[in-house]
Amino acid sequence: MKQGSDSNSLFESSASPLVGAVIVAAGSSRRMGGVDKLFASLDGKPMLAWTVDVFQNCQAIHQVILVVGEQRLEAARHLAEQQGWSKVKQICAGGERRQDSVANGLSRLSDCGWVVIHDGARPCLTSDLIERGLAEAADTGAAVAAVPVKDTIKVVSEGLVQETPSRQKLWVVQTPQVFRFDIIERAYRQPVDEVTDDASLVEKLGQKVRVYMGSYDNIKVTTREDLAWAALLLHNRGTHARQVS
């Protein structure tokens, strides 16, 4: 991984390619027990607002496409107007699968050389994570945030351990994931089975994908317990910021 990269100089000058973001928030929240996690309150504002605010305030990002479930379109548009998200250029409906939702978002970006793809249900990201991803992707055209696995992992079949892989080579992949636009566009043109992250499609092209250090705080909210943990993380972050200032 590169050290000391200045993403501002790479992506903020007027001569640099535009950077777009696709925020994918079209999930069903089925593991939330009837709670719509995107609009659930986290330390005083909806979870989706925490996520989009980071992109709105990140100087490296020029435009944002927000992808939500069709039943949430009106609520998302109202939230965007309420929050004053000038970088959100379109809010569109997602597809049947996550990759369909991302493809819908990619098709609506305009004149972007780079794309940052992020899960709307990861509200604890920072501008630094986005900017470091852009810097890391500069060489290979693709970079993903990830953290090393802490626990021992077992490969299990029919209740029996088949293998215990070394933790040294195992990372938990997160978003943001950053790609040169022509690479991710080409990846999404290939007919493939369902995948769980965008880098998997890029890997199928034979493209090198760089991994950079994410954050253990950058959790994905899928359950009520995750929601409570994210609320605590964001509250503590705000408390620390107020103490520093």
Q: Per residue in 41-59, pLDDT tens?
A: 998 899 999 999 999 999 9
pLDDT band at 68 (very low <50, low <70, confident <90, very high): very high
Question: What tokens appear for 154 in the block?
Answer: 């077992």
Q: Per residue in 6-34, pLDDT tens?
A: 444 444 544 568 999 999 999 765 655 55
Question: Is residue 1 in a domain?
Answer: no
* pLDDT at residue 9, rounded to an integer: 46
Question: Is residue 36 in a domain?
Answer: yes
* pLDDT at residue 3, rounded to an integer: 40
Question: Is residue 152 in a domain?
Answer: yes
The total domain count for the chain is: 1
Q: Residue 150 maps to which CATH number?
A: 3.90.550.10
CA dist 18 and 12 (Å) reads: 8
Burial class (CB in 10 A: 0-12, 13-18, 19+), 110: exposed
* pLDDT at residue 245, rounded to an integer: 60
Average pLDDT estimate for 149-166: 96
Whole-prediction pTM: 0.90
* pLDDT at residue 241, rounded to an integer: 66
The long-range contacts involving 5-9, CB below 8 angstroms and separated by at least 24 positions, are 5/132, 5/135, 5/136, 5/138, 6/135, 7/60, 7/131, 7/132, 7/134, 7/135, 8/59, 8/60, 8/131
Question: Is residue 210 in a domain?
Answer: yes
Question: Is residue 19 in a domain?
Answer: yes
* pLDDT at residue 67, rounded to an integer: 98
The CB density around residue 232, as the number of other CB atoms within 10 Å, is: 12
Q: Per residue in 99-150, pLDDT tens?
A: 999 999 999 999 999 999 999 999 999 999 999 999 999 999 999 999 999 9
Question: Is residue 24 in a domain?
Answer: yes
Average pLDDT estimate for 208-221: 97
Question: Is residue 2 in a domain?
Answer: no
Q: Per residue in 82-93, pLDDT tens?
A: 999 999 999 999
* pLDDT at residue 36, rounded to an integer: 84
Question: Is residue 110 in a domain?
Answer: yes
- What percent of the chain is predicted at pLDDT more than 90? 79
Range of the domain at 84: 7-244
